[in-house]
Structure 1
Amino acid sequence: MNNYYLGVEIGGTKQQIAVGCADGSIIESRQVKLVYRRGAEDILEWLSENIREYLSMAAYAGKVRGIGVGFGGPLETVTGRVLSSLQVPGWKDFELKRWFEEQFALPVIIVNDTVTGGFAELLMGAGKDSENFFYTNIGTGIGGGLYIHRKYYDGSGFGASYLGNMLVPDWTSNIPGACTRTELICSGRSIENRLRQKGYIPKNSVLAACHDGDIQKVTCMDLAEAVKAGDSFAVDELDRIAGTFSLSLANILASQGADTVVIGGGVAKMGDILFDRIRRFTDERAFIANKGHYRILPSYFLDDAVLVGALLVASGKYIEV
């Protein structure tokens, strides 16, 4: 009899479920971007309904052996208790592992979503030949996962290497010397919120004409297209974003000495116009001990990274959490 596993991604925007195998291969999956009325409750309702459907299907009934979950926020790794979500209300001190076990009567492992995606890239993706590996994503938020000698480093049991929460100069503020979290400058949500502020995009920018002038629809991908078109505002904006992200990345390299950095998340889909900047700015700031001894690569799995990692985690073959 075949054994299957469930992989779950609980994000700030995107929710995903996959049925797959112990090697991380996905058989089928579902995705939704919910309009939140109650925050966490909406997500739990969708998960409950859709996971029960999978577990009742003839192909999988009685054959699912465990569930791996990548959660978008800090948590207590051993207990699977969520500390909070920085994007969705209702998660504070939520016993997520207990909820899954009570709902579905299966073994469950809960891991931060960026860490889960990092497992996928380390074991099967862009970092598979790395010894000391760092994975981050630029999506709704920005996370981080460090793997020393191919073992995940969990700090004091509440995660570590949260790149998105490293402090950087705040060039959006008029206050001299102001600083803020990297995530509040460089995440997809922060970029789009900034672009959608009235008056932020100059009238002579091609972005001002996007979506028939409805700036509330301007996206990160629109910014990327404007950069490709040579729009001076868009070029300067992406330079500022990549420069800020690279400042945090240079600090990660100096403190942790990773040989490979892999970047995923929706914003990473900008491709070379983003990665070329990140590589250039990081190299300019890198400590002499790091220069020439690291590489920065795009995610191999992209949107599937967390699901693949969650399946690997669920199988229990690769990690101890």
Structure 2
Amino acid sequence: MNNPYYIGVEIGGTKQQLAVGLSDGTILDSRQVKLVYRRGAEDILEWLSENIREYLETAPYAGCVAGIGVGFGGPIETATGRVLASLQVPGWKDFELKRWFETKFELPVIVANDTVTGGFGELYKGAGRDSENLLYTNIGTGIGGGLYIHRKYYDGSGFGASYLGNMLVPDWRSLIPGSYTRTELLCSGLSIEKRLRGERYIPNISSLSKYYDGDMSRITCADLAEAARAGDMFACVELDKIAESFSIALVNILAVQGVDTIVIGGGVAKMGDILFDRIRETTDRLAFIANKDRYRILQSELLDDAVLVGALLIASGKYEKI
């Protein structure tokens, strides 16, 4: 097949994305949707089926697509492409996702965790392009992680590794001394917004309490960042706590793996320096002496396109693991 095309897929907890592109990760055309779920996984599969079929039947792609790469938002069995579960969308438990794609479209398919796929994008085409040992993580609906040692993906026992969101950290929400929780339950976009929207969580003295005429159900992570930039004390303290919890998880990764680069993507990463400055400062303060000044923390360059770029790369065979 001359100059074949590839299809990249991102299956998330909130956002679904699809792209057609080239073996080097170049996106030629993409589509995105945020579905209102009636049946959970079935709604996503229906959208994917319809839109991928359109690509496969449309010039110049018709008859020229060589494979499909999929980044799935949850843990999977790498060898088989079987979904273990989704923490956000019902209907995915033990779903044979790779088999579904292969049966539906009769093309070679590679399925990986979405953060792992996004990590490939950043490793080859983004902020980690000159890194030897990389951790890619995203702060979005959830928090994932992909570890790349000597530029090869480390897959643990075949079910993924370095799931940063599941690392345990002190739970500052609890009144019980010594309480701990998963990083994701404090720092993910879903958890942050759930907390901010809780009854009486935002104090009346905060400017955030006046947003949307007091309708706290509409408060977002972007609003939190805006208020912090304006000097709102509550927002600044909230971001301090989020950054410290996230940094504790990063420090543990640094101590165990000694990566030289940490790249952070996902929707919450779009807060930019108001969040990254805090994460860098706290990580530096807590880091073990062997790690200090031997790593860097970078914002994703590809952002919303990271998973799609990575999916195109793995579809074309650039999917290496230890």
* 1:199 match: secondary structure: coil
- Paired position in structure 2 for 1:44: 45
- Paired position in structure 1 for 2:314: 313
Percent of counterpart pairs with the same letter? 76
Residue deviations 1:193-230, cap 9 Å, x none?
Answer: 00000100001111111112110000000000000110
Deviates more, 1:304-313 or 1:47-56: 47-56
Deviates more, 1:204-213 or 1:69-78: 204-213
Superposition pairs of residues 125-136 of structure 1, within 5 angstroms = 125-136=126-137
Taking the aligned partners of 2:274 and 2:61, their CA distance within structure 1 comes to 43
- Paired position in structure 1 for 2:72: 71
- Paired position in structure 1 for 2:20: 19
- Paired position in structure 2 for 1:53: 54
Pairwise CA distance, 1:320: 5.7
Taking the aligned partners of 1:280 and 1:105, their CA distance within structure 2 comes to 50
- Paired position in structure 2 for 1:280: 281
Q: Which runs of 5+ in 2 are unaligned?
A: none
Q: Which amino acid aligns with 1:247?
A: I
Taking the aligned partners of 2:321 and 2:280, their CA distance within structure 1 comes to 33
Taking the aligned partners of 1:99 and 1:163, their CA distance within structure 2 comes to 28
Taking the aligned partners of 2:319 and 2:142, their CA distance within structure 1 comes to 26
Pairwise CA distance, 1:318: 4.9
Q: Which amino acid aligns with 2:49?
A: S
Taking the aligned partners of 1:317 and 1:268, their CA distance within structure 2 comes to 26
- Paired position in structure 2 for 1:208: 209
The answer to whether structure 1 residue 189 and structure 2 residue 190 are counterparts is yes
- Paired position in structure 1 for 2:272: 271
- Paired position in structure 2 for 1:225: 226
- Paired position in structure 2 for 1:157: 158
CA contact (8 A) 2:155 2:321 kept: no
Residue deviations 1:236-271, cap 9 Å, x none?
Answer: 000000000000000000001000000000000000
CA contact (8 A) 2:154 2:321 kept: no
Equivalent residues, number: 321
- Paired position in structure 1 for 2:172: 171
Taking the aligned partners of 1:264 and 1:55, their CA distance within structure 2 comes to 30
Taking the aligned partners of 2:34 and 2:200, their CA distance within structure 1 comes to 29
Residue deviations 1:149-178, cap 9 Å, x none?
Answer: 000000000000000000011111222221
TM-score (norm 2): 0.98
CA contact (8 A) 2:7 2:65 kept: yes
* 1:127 match: secondary structure: coil
Q: List structure 1 runs of 4+ shifted beyond 3 angstroms.
A: none
- Paired position in structure 2 for 1:113: 114
Taking the aligned partners of 1:86 and 1:130, their CA distance within structure 2 comes to 31
* 1:174 match: secondary structure: coil
Taking the aligned partners of 1:319 and 1:133, their CA distance within structure 2 comes to 14
Residue deviations 1:70-90, cap 9 Å, x none?
Answer: 000000000000000111111
Taking the aligned partners of 2:319 and 2:105, their CA distance within structure 1 comes to 23
Taking the aligned partners of 1:297 and 1:242, their CA distance within structure 2 comes to 14
TM-score (norm 1): 0.99
Residue deviations 1:32-80, cap 9 Å, x none?
Answer: 0111111111111111111111111121110000000000000000000
Deviates more, 1:304-313 or 1:35-44: 35-44
* 2:59 match: secondary structure: coil
* 1:35 match: secondary structure: coil
Taking the aligned partners of 2:177 and 2:34, their CA distance within structure 1 comes to 38
Taking the aligned partners of 1:275 and 1:128, their CA distance within structure 2 comes to 20
Pairwise CA distance, 1:124: 1.3
Q: Which amino acid aligns with 2:111?
A: I
Taking the aligned partners of 1:74 and 1:39, their CA distance within structure 2 comes to 17
